[in-house]
C-alpha cells in the first residue's frame, strides 16, 4: 500500500463478494426510516451514523479481511469514528466541489483549545481538529455499485494531501486530476486531506457508497466522538 502514502488514496477492487454486497444492500433497504439521520431528496439519499442506525452492517463491513488490511496498512488501535451511507440516484444533479475533509464528528460542542470552528447538521456536531489529528486518520469507501465517470465517481488530485490544509487555489497540480472508478464490491482508501470532488450523474445507474472514517486518537477532556465503534 505504498501508493496510499504517496498519492493519498488506493483502490482495491473485488474486496467484497457479490453475496456480501447483497447482504449490505438488504440490511440498508430493510432499515429505511424517517429518523433525523435519514436524509432524502430527489438527488441524494443519505444516512448519517449508518453503523449505529443499522448495527447489523458492522459485522458485514468490519470483517476479518478489512481488519487485517487496516492493521497491515495503518497499524493497531484504530476505531470507527464516523459512518455515512450515500445513495446518489441515476441522473442526479447533486455534485460536490473540490475540498478536503477537515472535520470530525463529536457528541457535544465543547470549547477546546485547537478545535474549531464548529458546525451542526441534523443534530450532529462537527469540529475541525488540529491538523495532526487529520494526518493520522483515513477513510474507507465501500462501493455497492460499479462507479465510473457517468455516475459520479470521485475525482482526486493525487498527492494533494502532503501539504497540509490548503485552499483550492493553492493546489498547483490540478493537471494530475484522476477519476476513481471502482467496481461493485471494491473499496477506496482515502486520506482526509486529499482534495476530492464528485460530479453530476449522467447515467441511470445509482452510486451507493458506505463511507467509513477511522481514527486511533483520543480526544481531549470534555470532547467525545459521537460515533465510536471499537471493532478490534
pLDDT in tens, 118-152: 999 877 899 999 999 999 999 999 999 999 988 88
Backbone φ and ψ for 25, nearest 5 degrees, come out as: -60, -45
How many residues would you count in the chain?
232
DSSP secondary structure string for all residues of 177-214: -EE--B-TT-EEEE-TTS-EEE----SS--EEEEEEEE
User: Tell me, what DSSP letter sits at residue 225?
Assistant: B
What's the Cα-to-Cα distance from 180 to each of 97, 140, 166, rounded to whole Å?
15, 13, 22
CATH topology of domain 2-150+158-215: Jelly Rolls (2.60.120)
| Mean per-residue pLDDT over the chain, rounded | 90
231 pLDDT more than 60: yes
Percent of the chain residues past pLDDT 70, beyond the cut = 92
Counting Cα atoms < 13 Å in the Cβ hemisphere of 25 gives 16
* Radius of gyration from C-alpha coordinates of the chain: 17
Counting Cα atoms < 13 Å in the Cβ hemisphere of 64 gives 0
Indicate the SS3 state at residue 151: helix
What's the Cα-to-Cα distance from 193 to each of 25, 56, 61, 207, rounded to whole Å?
29, 30, 24, 23
Give the separation between CA 148 and CA 60, rounded to whole angstroms. 24
Domain ranges of the chain: 2-150+158-215
Q: Which residue do the cell numbers 443534530 mark?
A: 123
pLDDT in tens, 180-228: 999 999 999 999 999 999 988 777 788 899 999 999 999 999 999 999 9
Give the separation between CA 33 and CA 186, rounded to whole angstroms. 27
Q: Which residue do the cell numbers 478490534 mark?
A: 232
DSSP secondary structure string for all residues of 69-136: HHHHHH-SS-EEEEEEEEEE-TT----EEEE----EEESS---BTTB--EEEETTEEEE---HHHHHH
Amino acid at each position: 500500500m505504498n501508493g496510499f502514502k504517496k498519492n493519498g488514496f488506493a483502490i482495491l477492487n473485488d474486496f467484497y463478494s457479490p453475496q456480501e454486497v447483497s447482504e449490505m444492500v438488504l440490511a440498508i433497504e430493510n432499515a429505511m426510516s424517517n429518523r433525523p439521520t435519514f436524509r432524502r431528496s430527489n438527488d441524494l439519499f443519505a444516512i448519517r451514523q449508518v453503523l449505529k442506525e443499522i448495527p447489523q452492517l458492522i459485522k458485514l463491513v468490519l470483517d476479518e479481511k478489512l481488519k487485517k488490511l487496516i492493521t497491515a496498512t495503518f497499524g493497531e488501535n484504530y476505531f470507527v469514528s464516523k459512518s455515512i451511507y450515500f445513495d446518489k440516484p441515476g441522473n442526479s444533479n447533486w455534485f460536490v466541489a473540490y475540498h478536503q475533509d477537515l472535520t470530525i464528528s463529536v457528541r457535544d460542542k465543547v470549547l477546546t483549545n485547537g478545535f474549531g470552528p464548529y458546525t451542526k447538521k441534523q443534530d450532529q456536531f462537527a469540529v475541525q481538529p488540529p491538523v495532526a489529528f487529520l494526518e493520522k486518520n483515513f477513510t474507507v469507501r465501500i462501493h455497492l455499485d460499479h462507479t465510473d465517470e457517468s455516475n459520479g465517481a470521485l475525482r482526486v488530485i493525487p498527492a494533494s494531501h502532503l501539504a497540509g490544509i490548503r485552499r483550492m487555489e493553492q493546489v498547483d497540480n490540478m493537471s494530475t486530476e484522476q477519476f476513481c472508478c471502482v467496481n461493485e464490491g471494491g473499496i477506496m482508501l482515502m486520506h482526509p486531506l486529499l482534495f476530492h470532488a464528485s460530479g453530476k450523474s449522467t447515467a441511470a445507474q445509482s452510486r451507493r457508497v458506505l463511507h467509513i472514517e477511522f481514527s486511533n486518537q483520543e480526544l481531549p477532556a470534555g470532547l467525545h466522538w459521537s460515533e465510536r465503534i471499537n471493532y478490534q
